[in-house]
Structure 1
Amino acid sequence: MSDDLKISKRKPTYPVSNKLDTYLSEYRRNIDLPIFYSDLLRFQGSIVVYDKNDNDTLWVRVYYNDYEREEIDRSLKLVYSHLLSDGGESIIKFLNVDAIDFCTFGNSKPFRIKVRNILNDNYTYFYVKTADASRVYGLELEQMLSPYQINFLVCKDTLIEEHIAGIPGDEFIKNMLPDCNPSEKAQIAKEFVKFNERCLIRLLGDMRSYNYVIVPTHDFDHVVFKIRAIDFDQQSYEGNLKIYRPQFFKENYNMVKMVQEKIQAESIYQYKIEERSIVAKRMISYHTRLNALLDCMEADEISIPKHIEMLKEDIYNHTLDLNFRNSNNMGEILKNALDFVKRNYEDVSLKRF
């Protein structure tokens, strides 16, 4: 655990390159949208959004001129249809945009859109953000290398993301973890080890407790807990290898302490091997698509030279693999990291025969 782990406060927004744009079109992530992030910035005023305990959520509810609101609502309903349905207009008459919230915290400054089905009052959320290449790479890697499906769309400088349901990690650690029974704590500890390893393998940084969610699922007579990333701004940007390992953030101290208390060293090693093997199998399944994405990353600029030099030296010292020292950018570093995991998986598989 490190109390002085520093993350770049002003990470630049990297535009979506032509090559990445072509990739997104090929895999149907890129469509024509009826509204852009910049359109939503034209709000006329806002009010603070408080939680049920009257704490400031750092979100504000925005409102627009009457003559603009009707068009904005219709456009957002069409976005919903493209993201979660067939893209047609037939469902629009059944939808209502209940709220448009703007986040004043963090790099991405997203809009959160609440859409309700007026027939049954079910509602869902999606987010409108600036299309940062780092975030797009992070989302695609999440789709391919994690156990979870993720839905998003890109159009020019605008990114649409579906809402990822779950209990925010910081809220869970503070309010729910203390009441978990010993068996549940052991299971959560195991998931944190695997989550920690998965973030390291695919170089997803800044997994402080408020950047992931805990997803509980009831299974017969017990609850299964999973940990899922929800913020992908820090995909392959930072130079410090520790930033890609959630265990080193002070916000995750209680999770790390629980791992130490509940899981023996031999089991920690076992869970790491399990996660590496699972990621390697996903890499094989997504071979063509993953290589196409990595080709885009290798041709792209998504970090600064200082971070690239620092990270490739850090990983070389960790693995003694010269491929890392010979990397020229973040795309090559990630490609070599995934190749390293895959080679080790294949070597182990061969030894079993």
Structure 2
Amino acid sequence: MSSEPVMLFKKPSYPINKSLLEYLERFDRLSKVSIFYDDLLRFSGSVNVYDKNDEDTLWIRVYYNEFERQEIDLTLKKIYSLLHSDGNLGILKFLNVDSIDYCTFGNSKPFRIKVRNILNDNYTHFYIKKADASRIYGLELEHILSPDKINFLVYNDTLIEEHIMGIPGDVFIKTLLADCTEIEKSQIAKEFVKFNERCMIRLLGDMRSYNYVIVPTHDFDHVVYKIRAIDFDQQCYEGNFKVYRPQFFKENYPMVKLVKDKLQNSSIEQYKDEERAVLAKRIHSAENRIKRLLQIMGDDVIAPEEHLKQLQLELYRYTNDLNFKKAKSMGNIMSAAFEFITRNFKNANLFKTGF
């Protein structure tokens, strides 16, 4: 396994430009309910949140004065109804905001909202963060190109994301992977190869084990595992190409070892080919939407110039495709990557991930 990619600086938040706002409005991504991330920062106190093993989760549970809490609760319930029932206000009387947690680590410092249906005690979460253009591009690309759809809303400089259910990758690796059957391990290895390929092609970075989840699904007499990204902060930002390849992070070494132990090289190439083919078909089927998004992205600035130049050079050396060298923005690099994959997805020797 090669040396781990290094990310030296905290990623800044990039503003949403007018063209991106128009795109979000066109595809019903704008919130009709006014909500500001900064309003939630005005909490009057907090307590630490511990997990079932009494270990500090690094989240804090925040509380507000009585007047502000009533207004905040009503707004959050309206946001929930927008995310899950198209803004139907009739359900508000059946909802309760059980908790508002604030994350004290990471780049986006999100609020996690727990909303419960008082009729049956079912509950779900969603997150409120500072809106960031590169994260929004990442969410849109995930929605269009991944096997799973994702729901989010934007209000001015505030981003609302639905919760993606699954077992955090680091927790799964630490507590559950060893107990999987040999067949399940082979299936997980296959999924990691596909996940690695998908992240690399669409330039979604920093997929360390705590930035994705494992989703088990019971199917007849066995369990099928899928891998889903849950953090889209590092979309087209870093210049180091390795950042976009999950296999190079030390946190993912158990998964990489699983691939080497369970899959032959021919199988690895087959699964990469399958993922490239599926991505090429999704790009083709959503051609107009992706073309519009990449045009906006191509005119936007979502990374420092030095990152752009480094990634241009590394991708050109990797593929010998001059389109990467000619790219003038991270959006142009993304366009070049999609053109490359749609042009060459039938060739099993392209975009090798080097397991």
TM-score interval for Structure 1 and Structure 2 normalised by the shorter chain: over 0.9
Alignment of 1:118-197 (within 5 A): 118-197=118-197
CA RMSD of aligned residues (A): 1.1
- Counterpart code for 2:23: Y
- 2:232 maps to a residue whose letter is F
Alignment map for 1:242-281 (pairs within 5 Å):
242-281=242-281
How far, CA to CA, are the matches of 1:79 and 1:281 in structure 2?
Answer: 34
1:351 counterpart residue number: none
The reply to whether residue 342 of structure 1 matches residue 342 of structure 2 is yes
Instruction: Find the aligned partners of 1:212 and 1:137 in 2 and give their Cα distance.
Output: 18
Per the TM alignment, residue 35 of structure 1 is displaced from its structure 2 partner at its CA by: 1.9
Secondary structure of 1:121 counterpart:
coil
> Is the CA contact 1:62–1:102 (under 8 Å) kept in the aligned structure 2?
yes
For these two proteins, the number of residue pairs brought into alignment is 348
Counterpart CA distance in 1 for 2:32 and 2:226 is: 34
Do the aligned partners of 2:277 and 2:346 also contact (CA within 8 Å) in 1? no
For residues 256 and 113 of structure 1, the distance between their equivalents in structure 2, rounded to whole angstroms, comes to 34
1:124-178 deviations in Å (ceiling 9; x for gaps): 0000001100110000000111000100000110000000000000000000001
Distance of aligned partners of 1:4 and 1:189 in 2 relative to their CA distance in 1, 3 Å threshold: closer
TM-score by length of 2: 0.96
TM-score by length of 1: 0.97
- Residue type of the alignment partner of 1:88: N
Partner of 2:18: 18
Alignment of 1:1-353 (within 5 A): 1-345=1-345
Displacement of 1:301 after TM fit?
0.4
- 8 Å contact 1:25–1:31 — kept in the other structure? no
Distance 1:323 1:75 in 2: 46
Identity rate, percent:
64
The CA deviation at 1:238 is 0.3
The one-letter code sitting in structure 2 at the alignment partner of 1:239 is G
Matched AA of 1:168: P
Look up the SS of the partner of 2:345 in the other structure. helix
Rounded Cα–Cα distance in structure 1 between residues aligned with 2:40 and 2:94? 22
Structure 2 unaligned segments of length 5 or more: list them. Answer: 349-355
The 8 Å contact of residues 116 and 123 in structure 1, kept in 2 or not, is answered as yes
Query: How far, CA to CA, are the matches of 1:145 and 1:158 in structure 2?
Result: 24
Q: Which amino acid aligns with 1:188?
A: I
| Maintained 8 Å contact 1:144/1:282 | yes
Following the alignment from structure 2 to structure 1, what is the Cα–Cα distance between the partners of residues 183 and 88? Answer: 47
In structure 2, what is the Cα distance between the partners aligned to 1:346 and 1:297? 27
Alpha-carbon displacement from aligned partner over 1:290-319 (angstroms, at most 9, x marks no partner)? 011001100100000110000011010110
- Mapped to 2, the partners of 1:183 and 1:40 lie a distance apart of 46
Q: Match of 1:39, as an amino acid? A: D
After superposition, give the CA deviation of every residue in 1:208-243 in whole Å (9 maximum; x if it has no partner): 000000000000000000000000000000001100
Q: Residue 172 of structure 2 contacts residue 214 of structure 2 at CA under 8 Å; is this kept in 1?
A: yes
Q: Secondary structure at the match of 2:213?
A: strand
The CA distance in 2 between the partners of 1:290 and 1:237, in whole Å, is: 19
SS class of match (1:31): coil
What SS is found at the alignment partner of 1:90?
A: helix
With over 3 angstroms needed to count, the CA separation of the structure-2 counterparts of 1:283 and 1:260, relative to structure 1, is same
Deviation of the 1:40 alpha carbon: 0.4
Residue 353 of structure 2 is matched in structure 1 by: none
Report the Cα distance in structure 2 between the residues aligned to 1:139 and 1:4, rounded to whole angstroms: 25
Residue by residue over 1:181-225, the C-alpha shift from the partner in whole angstroms, topping out at 9 and shown as x without a partner, is 110000000000000000001000000000000000000000000
Q: C-alpha displacement at 1:32, in angstroms?
A: 2.9
Counterpart-to-counterpart distance in 1, 2:54 and 2:125: 22
Q: 1:262-288: CA deviations, max 9, x gaps?
A: 000111111101000000000011111
1:39 is displaced (CA, Å) by 0.7
For residues 146 and 227 of structure 1, what CA distance do their matches in structure 2 show? 10
Q: Which amino acid aligns with 2:317?
A: N
SS of equivalent to 1:196: helix
SS at match of 2:238: coil
